[in-house]
Amino acid sequence: MATKQSARTGSPLPGDSNRQSARTGNPLPGLSIEQLLSKESFTRSDIVTLLSVTGDQRIRLFEHSAKIKEAFVGNRVYLRGLIEFSNRCHKNCLYCGIRRDNHFVNRYTLTDEEIVSAACYAAENNYGSLVLQSGELETIGFAKRVEKLLKDIHKATQNKLRITLSCGEQEKDIYRRWFSSGAHRYLLRIESSGKELYEKLHPGDEFHSYKRRLKCLIDLQKIGYQVGTGVMIGLPFQTLENLADDLLFMKKFDIDMIGMGPYLEHEVTPLYALRHTLLPKEERFDLTLKMIAILRIIMKDVNIAATTALQAIDPMGREKAMKIGANVIMPNITPGKYRDDYLLYQNKPCTARMPTTVIHALKPA
């Protein structure tokens, strides 16, 4: 895979950089790591170089991002209680375990009472912020339900919680209605900021249009939401240039929050057929840490989530991400009996077998 990808892009993949170091003694042609890290702005090629560093240079990258994190956002960990309130989805993303065509999934929707009670749990446990996440449905019934839920939650928690929605692509008018009902933030991952790669990861129909996804992000910003986005890392076909472009996209869009996690294959998805082309999981993990570190360097005070997918590869994954740049953790507070059914990828942690108390093990970096 590494050889194929390098040949395609000309840029060193993480697996190639040792070889490159041995050849040139330095993967940073003409520039020391200190010179590169102290630059005011970063080009695509600077970012590709930083994504390729190994050994002492990699350690310097992480030390630098940790220092920037401390200076700009401090050591505070922001907790957002995550409620995965429905796994029904009308989309068919080629990588996702709860895609429409996976008929092995036990589809569920929490009742209003269960959602409001989980929200009250969050408020009582001083979460301050809640994320309501679901698969994507664009029906009038769904839109109305979310609107009502927002009002019910605010009432039941005396407006103590800030609410983030993550319910996919919707018409601008729906986003507006939800905003007026008390949603403050919206998460919509671009998945990959490059149109070409995006189209390789999604079926080529009107439900999965790159143009519409971009429009949704723009609509959300115009309405006044704090907008979160993100990408998966280590996808089939993905190059270091794609990842550098993803970071530049987030900066250009002036995104408020970012969630980036390693891509993890799921058996019952079309993309599983390409598993032999993937980087080893440890490299996907390391690349994700580098993406977080570089993002912290180029967007100093942005909110960066330490995602659950990191923890699926390394039990200390989220803590490692917090140490080098992330500052937000989203503990899953979905009622336990539903958690096994929100399996976007295999070996997802914090399912019914793991209680929410795992969060108590998480300490500020």
98 binds, among ligand 5AD, ligand SF4, none (CB under 5 to 8 A by kind): ligand SF4
CB of 88 to ligand SF4, least distance (A): 9
Element (DSSP H or E) covering residue 309: helix 308-313
Residues sharing a CB contact under 8 Å with residue 64, sequence separation 6 or more, in sequence order: 37, 293, 297
Q: Does 99 bind ligand SF4 (CB under 6 A)?
A: yes
Q: Does 320 bind ligand SF4 (CB under 6 A)?
A: no
CB of 89 to ligand SF4, least distance (A): 3
- Per-position x/- string for 299-318, each x denoting binding to ligand 5AD as judged by CB under 6 A, each - no binding: ----------x---------
Interface with ligand 5AD (CB under 6 A), residue from 27, 81, 228, 261: 261
**Residue matched to tokens 């080009």:** 43
CB of 343 to ligand 5AD, least distance (A): 9
Return d(Cα 152, Cα 154) in angstroms, integer. 6
Q: Does 266 bind ligand 5AD (CB under 6 A)?
A: yes
Q: Does 131 bind ligand SF4 (CB under 6 A)?
A: no
**Residue matched to tokens 């570190």:** 293
* 75: number of Cβ within 10 Å: 12
Residues sharing a CB contact under 8 Å with residue 269, sequence separation 6 or more, in sequence order: 94, 95, 96, 97, 99, 102
Nearer to ligand 5AD by Cβ, of 28 and 93: the residue is 93
Q: Identify which range of 40-48, 94-102, 223-231, 266-274 contacts ligand SF4 by CB under 6 A.
A: 94-102
232 binds, among ligand SF4, ligand 5AD, none (CB under 5 to 8 A by kind): ligand 5AD
Residues 41-100 that bind ligand 5AD (CB under 6 A): 95-96
Nearer to ligand SF4 by Cβ, of 6 and 334: the residue is 334
Residues 148-187 that bind ligand SF4 (CB under 6 A): 168
Cα dihedral 291, 253, 70, 83 sign: negative
Pair 272, 266: CB distance under 8 Å: yes
Phi/psi zone of residue 190: left (φ > 0), alpha (ψ -120 to 50 degrees), beta?
A: alpha
Element (DSSP H or E) covering residue 260: strand 257-262
CB of 266 to ligand 5AD, least distance (A): 5
DSSP codes of every residue in 161-208 = -EEEEE-----HHHHHHHHHTTEEEEE---B-SSHHHHHHHS-SSGGG
Return d(Cα 230, Cα 304) in angstroms, integer. 10
261 binds, among ligand 5AD, ligand SF4, none (CB under 5 to 8 A by kind): ligand 5AD
Q: Does 191 bind ligand 5AD (CB under 6 A)?
A: yes
Q: Which residues bind ligand 5AD (CB under 6 A)?
A: 95-96, 189, 191, 232, 261, 263-264, 266, 309, 344-345
Q: Which residues bind ligand SF4 (CB under 6 A)?
A: 89, 91, 93, 96, 98-99, 135-136, 168
